[in-house]
A and B are shown apart, each in its own frame.
Chain A
Amino acid sequence: MQNILLNIDAGTIDWSRAQFALTAIYHWLFVPLTLGLAVIMGIAETCYYRTKKQFWKDVAKFWQKLFGVNFAMGVATGIILEFEFGTNWSNYSWFVGDIFGAPLAVEGILAFFMESTFVAVMFFGWKKVSPGFHLASTWLTGLGATISAWWILVANAWMQYPVGCAFNPDTMRHEMVSFAEVALSPFAVDKFCHTVISSWIIGAIFVVAVSCWYLLKKREQQLAVESIKIAVVVGLIASVGAAATGHKSAQSVGEVQPMKLAAMEALYNGGTDQGLTAVAWVNPFAQPDYENLKEAPLKIEMPYALSFMATNDIHGFVPGINDILNGYTTPDGKTEPSIEEKMARGRLAIATLSDYRKAKAGGANEATLNAYLAVLDKNMPYFGYGYLRDRSEAVPYIPVNFWAFRIMVGLGCLFILYFAVLTIMAFRIPLLSVIVRRLLAAFFIIPESEADSHELTRLPAWHYWVPIALLPLAYIASESGWLVAEFGRQPWTIQDMLPTWAAVSDLNAGSVMLTFILFLILFTTMLAVEISILLKQIKKGPESASLNDK
């Protein structure tokens, strides 16, 4: 603990980062459940639409009620992030210009109109509109939330991979040159797919956990069993989908943020044929001595897996931290400059920007100004490196990236296994079900006497406690993903363009600390209120008496 405490600079930058992280982490507690529950309540209502059975209507209404509680608690928590941009990160806000504002504006307008319209129809319209229109509104509520997520992720992806823009030295802002390039950036597409699909896992685990609580209490058993059947299919598709989209996401990171990938893997020295680290000793509380270590101690790796993950080729080249610091040439001849060279070019870009603005203010002729602009354009990709004082500042904090990545991937694998087993059990897939239960009995996970039981309602109590225990782990996996994404891109607020210490406003650290504490109290209170209302509604159960009897 001592090392990390010594490294913390309780200054404006750190408190501003901490405050932003706190707000984003709390905001993300609400969002994935909204996205995940939207799919499950949509499927439940589709079952009602097709069968016209009151049972499915009640199931849909029950999950919509819990969706409503979560939706109400989460709404507007993201707005505070925008306040923070304007106050704590004013240089950043100005520098990114309309690039960042455009997706957020589209998100705000779409979210407001789609959600306020279709959420209202979903909750108020059961007796007012046709079943088909109501079903469409339920799905469009989920689609609206997903489209909102799209635009937010487009804005986030642009910070990690700035495309479709040009810097204007007169206004000191980036200007959008291609909306399509920003909105359909491959990095944004990969990020969107991975983030949204992994959110469905939280929705699925939540539904299984609530259903299992009912089975534990021997209440609403039909609702619980049928909801589990929907949730396990969604959960299995989502957890396998999260692995597949995670692979694609890792490739994107390898291409545009190689330092992040190297930090995630604690890969100090790269090369071809790289193995994926399964486990290694990386001290969670101190930056490792990557310059002098060949590799992380006690490393156990899966041969060739990192090369495959990053390049789709088991022999692919993956640069390590020292390769990126020293500069490298890939086997196909692509050369990447050293950090020192990037720092020199960054300083040249900033100095040229200063000279250009002075010349322009002094009324210099066009030829002179164009000469400055040519130099600036050539070196602009390295602009942010001009703020680095030491090459080590280009390296993110490795322990957080390394461990958060392993927590996310490890839990992701656990969810695939859990949903696969539960799908087989829930649908009583004949041969597989027997094999799974026999295997569980062979490893003493279930008693031999239960090996032939197929009834979800008659399992031992611990079966029902498993998803309840997995629910917080699903949130930890999701937040770990964000830790990897955001810690891994340090020191950059905009990749290669603007480090945190250039982006932050010249504020008093004490005032940022005060708002940090205020937020901590506010958000924790909101979370406690949400959990309290959700638990009360779960205990109360569905409103239809017919469901309770079954």
Chain B
Amino acid sequence: MEKQGFWYKAFHLYYDGFRSMTLGKTLWTIILVKLFIIFAILKLFFFPNFLAQHADEGEEDKYVASELIERAK
């Protein structure tokens, strides 16, 4: 009886859907490659958190205040 439940049906919706994909396999490959490039390469090597690197944790306001006040001079 439990196998007829909502979660069983939901699981099989995804399971059968992914298994029978044709074009979807190509698209998912592209999505995964894209996500890898975005998160594992771009984010990691090219987009660090600038404030985390230049201000101590909890002291960000001091860094931003000095930046914004100095740049107006």
A87 near B42 with CB under 8 A, answer no
8 Å CB interface, A482-523 against B: 501-502, 505-507, 511, 514-515, 518, 522
Q: For residue A361, which residue of chain B has the nearest CB?
A: B62
A353 near B9 with CB under 8 A, answer no
Task: For the complex, give the distance between the alpha carbons of A346 and B71 in Å.
Answer: 13
Task: For the complex, give the distance between the alpha carbons of A414 and B29 in Å.
Answer: 39
B38 near A353 with CB under 8 A, answer no
Total number of A residues with any Cβ neighbor in B under 8 Å: 52
B13 within 8 A of A: yes
Contact of B47 among A84, A94, A125, A346 (CB under 8 A): A84
Q: For residue B28, which residue of chain A has the nearest CB?
A: A72
A34 CB to closest chain B CB (Å) equals 14
Interface centre among A76, A347, A511 (most CB of B within 10 A): A76
B30 near A357 with CB under 8 A, answer no
* Size category, B interface: 35 or more
Chain B residues lying within 8 Å of A460, measured Cβ to Cβ, are: none
Task: For the complex, give the distance between the alpha carbons of A79 and B47 in Å.
Answer: 12
A86 within 8 A of B: yes
A91 within 8 A of B: yes
| Also in contact, A124 and B14, with CB within 8 A (given A387-B72, A515-B46) | yes
Interface centre among B12, B31, B54, B61 (most CB of A within 10 A): B61
Q: For residue B69, which residue of chain A has the nearest CB?
A: A354
Q: For residue B72, which residue of chain A has the nearest CB?
A: A350
A173 near B61 with CB under 8 A, answer yes
A87 near B48 with CB under 8 A, answer yes
A536 CB to closest chain B CB (Å) equals 9
A357 near B13 with CB under 8 A, answer no
Contact of B72 among A69, A128, A172, A347 (CB under 8 A): A347
Q: Mark B17-50, 1 if CB is under 8 A from A, else 0.
A: 1100001101110110011011000110011111
Task: For the complex, give the distance between the alpha carbons of A120 and B60 in Å.
Answer: 42
A172 near B50 with CB under 8 A, answer no
| Also in contact, A386 and B72, with CB within 8 A (given A173-B61, A357-B65) | yes
B13 near A505 with CB under 8 A, answer no
B65 near A353 with CB under 8 A, answer yes
Contact of B37 among A91, A505, A522 (CB under 8 A): A522
Q: Mark A283-301, 1 if CB is under 8 A from B, else 0.
A: 0000000000000000000
A76 near B35 with CB under 8 A, answer yes
A392 CB to closest chain B CB (Å) equals 18
B71 near A90 with CB under 8 A, answer no
Chain A residues lying within 8 Å of B72, measured Cβ to Cβ, are: 346-347, 350, 386-387, 502
A87 near B50 with CB under 8 A, answer yes
Task: For the complex, give the distance between the alpha carbons of A505 and B54 in Å.
Answer: 10
A442 within 8 A of B: no
B65 near A172 with CB under 8 A, answer yes
Task: For the complex, give the distance between the alpha carbons of A128 and B13 in Å.
Answer: 7
Chain A residues lying within 8 Å of B9, measured Cβ to Cβ, are: 128
A9 within 8 A of B: no
A73 near B30 with CB under 8 A, answer yes
Q: For residue B18, which residue of chain A has the nearest CB?
A: A124
B1 within 8 A of A: no
Listed from nearest, the 10 A-B pairs whose CB atoms lie closest are A124-B17, A90-B50, A72-B27, A83-B47, A172-B61, A350-B72, A87-B47, A505-B50, A94-B64, A354-B69
Binding site for B on A (CB under 8 A): 65, 68-69, 72-73, 75-76, 79-80, 83-84, 86-88, 90-91, 93-95, 120-121, 123-125, 128-129, 170-173, 346-347, 350, 353-354, 357, 386-387, 501-502, 505-507, 511, 514-515, 518, 522, 526, 529, 533, 537
21 residue pairs A–B, Cβ–Cβ below 8 Å: A69-B27, A72-B27, A72-B30, A76-B34, A83-B43, A86-B47, A90-B51, A91-B67, A94-B60, A94-B61, A120-B13, A121-B13, A124-B13, A171-B61, A353-B65, A353-B68, A357-B65, A502-B68, A505-B50, A515-B42, A529-B30
